[in-house]
Amino acid sequence: MTLTIVGSQLGDEGKGGIVDVYGSGADVVVRYQGGDNAGHTVVQDGQEYKLSLIPSGAVRGNVGVLGNGCVVNPRTLFDEISTLRERGLDPDVRVAERAHVILPYHRILDGIEEERKAEEDLSAGTTGRGIGPTYEDRAGRRGVRIGDLLDPGTLRARLEYAVPQKRALLEDVYGVPVEDHDDVDADAFDVDALHAEFSEYGERLAREGMPVNCGAFLAERRAAGDRLVFEGAQGTAIDLDHGIYPYVTSSNPTAGAAAVGTGLGPGVIGDGEVLGIVKAYLSRVGTGPLPTELGRVDGQTPAGGGRPDASDVAEYVREEGGEYGTVTGRPRRVGWLDVPMLRHAARASGFTGVAVNHIDVLAGLDQVKVGHAYELDGEELETMPTTTERWADCEATFRTFDGWPDVDWGAVAASGYDAIPENARAYLAYIAEEVGAPIYAVGVGPGREQTIVVEELL
C-alpha cells in the first residue's frame, strides 16, 4: 500500500500536518523531489521540530528516505540530524545515491541570479537554497551525486570539471570577482576546499549507513509488506511543468514525479492513493497574478490586481490564518479558493482523495466565496491556462457560500466529521465534487489532533 501526498496549490497547503497524521501509520516516508526549500513543523510530545529537508516521519520513528529526485545539501542534512539527536531522537534517514548534491556555489549563484532577475522584475522569489542551480547541473550532466561523495577520485573529477565553469559564470557573466566580494565565500569556488568538505560528508554518510539504491531499497521494503508514504514538497501551481512558469520551483511536486524520483514504477504510485492537499483559501508570497486575490499588498500585488474593496475580508483571513512571513513578518497575499487551480492539480496528479486544511480560518465570515471558473476573452475556463501571462488575464467568476460560525474546533475534531458546521460541510462537498475525489481528511487547526480523518488510508 502506498500513499502519495501532493500540494494542489502554491505550496503552503499544510502538507506537513497531513503527512504527519497519515505517516504515523507508515513504515517508510519518502521525499521524491525538492530539497531544503521545504519547511514543515512537526509537534511530537509537546516539542516542536522545524525541518526543511528530512522527511517529517523520521521524527516519529519511521524510516525517512530522500529519494533520487531530491537535491540534498549535506550541511542541512547533518545539521537537522544533529538537532534531532541533541533532543533525544534517533532518526533513521537514508539518502539515494542517485540524488544530487547542493554545493555552496549553487546557493551563491541562486542568490546572484535572483538579484539580477529582480532588476527586470522577473525574480521567482526563490528560497535561496540553490535548488534551481543544482537541478540545472543535473540536467546539464555536470552535477555531483551523493554516490560521488563516497568515492574521492570521482568527486575530484566532477569538481574539477564543474568548478571552473561556476567560477567563470560568477566572474565573467555576472561580473562578481570571487576573491574580493564580501558576500562570496571563496572556498565555494575552490576545488580542494570543496573536496575536503564534501568527501568528509561522504565518509560520514557511509559510516552511518545512509546511502541507498533508492528504488531497490523501497521495492524490498514494499515486498516485505511495509507501508510507504511519498511526501511531495511545494505544490502543483509551482511545479516546473504544470505551474506558473517561470515563477516555479525547479522540480515536479506532481504525483508522476514520485515514480521518477524514487525509482519505483508509475504503476506502484497509481495503484496506491494519491492525496491532494488543499488549503481552504489561497495565500501567496511575492509578485505575479492571483485572480482570486482579496485586498492587495503593496509591492507584491501587480498594478490593477487584487480587490481593494475586499480589504477587510483580506485582513480577517490574514489575521485568523497568521498569514505573515515567518522571517520578514511581511503580510502575505490572500485570496479565495481558486477552483480552476484545483481541477488542474487533480488531473495532473490523479487525486484519489483530498484533504482540506484551515476551514477554521474562514469561520466567522458572513459569506465565503470561491473562484469557480475564469472568464478569458469572453469564454468560460474551468482550468488554468497554460501560460502565466494568460492566467493574469483571467477574471475569476465567483460562487458564494453561507459562512459558518467559529466554534470550539478542538471539540469538533474530537467528535469527527459530522460535528463540522453544516455550511462548512457544504463547502467541503462542493470541493470534492469539483475535483472529482472524496474528502479524506479535514484540518480544523494547526495541531495533529485537529485533523479529522475521514478515511484511514494506511
Among 125, 350, 385, 446, binds ligand IMP (CB under 6 A): 125
Residue 252 interacts with ligand IMP (CB under 6 A): yes or no = no
CB of 12 to ligand IMP, least distance (A): 5
Among 124, 269, 354, 435, binds ligand IMP (CB under 6 A): 124
Candidate segments 118-126, 393-401, 437-445, 450-458, binder of ligand IMP by CB under 6 A: 118-126
> Residue 40 catalytic?
yes
Give me 369's grid cell: 466565496
* Distance between CA atoms of residues 430 and 371, nearest Å: 12
* Residue 124, phi then psi, degrees to nearest 5: -90, -5
Q: Strand 333-335 relative to strand 282-284: parallel, antiparallel, unpaired?
A: antiparallel
CB of 131 to ligand IMP, least distance (A): 4
Give yes or no for a contact between 37 and 249, defined as CB atoms under 8 angstroms apart: yes
Helix or strand or coil: residue 350?
coil
Residue 33 interacts with ligand IMP (CB under 6 A): yes or no = no
Residue 357 interacts with ligand IMP (CB under 6 A): yes or no = no
Residue 6 interacts with ligand IMP (CB under 6 A): yes or no = no
- Sign of the CA dihedral 414, 42, 355, 374? positive
DSSP label of 176: -
* Distance between CA atoms of residues 192 and 427, nearest Å: 59
| Binders of ligand IMP in range 130-169 (CB under 6 A) | 131-132
Candidate segments 120-128, 145-153, 353-361, 380-388, binder of ligand IMP by CB under 6 A: 120-128
Among 39, 61, 270, 302, binds ligand IMP (CB under 6 A): 39
∠ CA 379-385-388, nearest 5°, is 125
CB of 400 to ligand IMP, least distance (A): 28
**In 10 A of CB 193, how many CB atoms?**
16
Residue 446 interacts with ligand IMP (CB under 6 A): yes or no = no
CB of 106 to ligand IMP, least distance (A): 10
* Distance between CA atoms of residues 208 and 186, nearest Å: 30
Residue 109 interacts with ligand IMP (CB under 6 A): yes or no = no
* Distance between CA atoms of residues 283 and 321, nearest Å: 9
Chain position whose Cβ is nearest to ligand IMP = 11
Residue 250 interacts with ligand IMP (CB under 6 A): yes or no = yes
* Residue 286, phi then psi, degrees to nearest 5: 100, -175
Residue identified by cell 516555479 is 248
* Distance between CA atoms of residues 39 and 42, nearest Å: 10
Maximum CA extent, the chain: 66
Catalytic residue among 20, 27, 36, 40: 40
Candidate segments 54-62, 87-95, 121-129, 274-282, binder of ligand IMP by CB under 6 A: 121-129
Catalytic residue among 12, 20, 27, 110: 12
Measured from the CB atom, the residue of 250 and 451 that comes closer to ligand IMP is 250
* Distance between CA atoms of residues 368 and 434, nearest Å: 16
Question: What crossing angle do the helices spanning 152-168 and 104-119 adopt, rounded to 10°?
Answer: 20
Residue closest to 287 by CA, chosen among 272, 271, 298? 298
Residue 287 interacts with ligand IMP (CB under 6 A): yes or no = no
Residue closest to 256 by CA, chosen among 278, 277, 274? 274
Among 234, 301, 349, 357, binds ligand IMP (CB under 6 A): 234
In sequence order, the β-bridge partners of residue 274 are 4
Residue 129 interacts with ligand IMP (CB under 6 A): yes or no = yes
Candidate segments 77-85, 122-130, 154-162, 268-276, binder of ligand IMP by CB under 6 A: 122-130
CB of 253 to ligand IMP, least distance (A): 9
Candidate segments 59-67, 73-81, 163-171, 233-241, binder of ligand IMP by CB under 6 A: 233-241
CB of 247 to ligand IMP, least distance (A): 6
CA distances from 258 to 1, 231, 268, 360 (A): 14, 8, 10, 31
Residue 38 interacts with ligand IMP (CB under 6 A): yes or no = yes
Number of residues that bind ligand IMP (CB under 6 A): 20
Residues that bind ligand IMP (CB under 6 A): 11-12, 37-39, 124-127, 129, 131-132, 233-234, 238, 247, 249-250, 285-286
Question: Which amino acids are annotated catalytic?
Answer: 12, 40
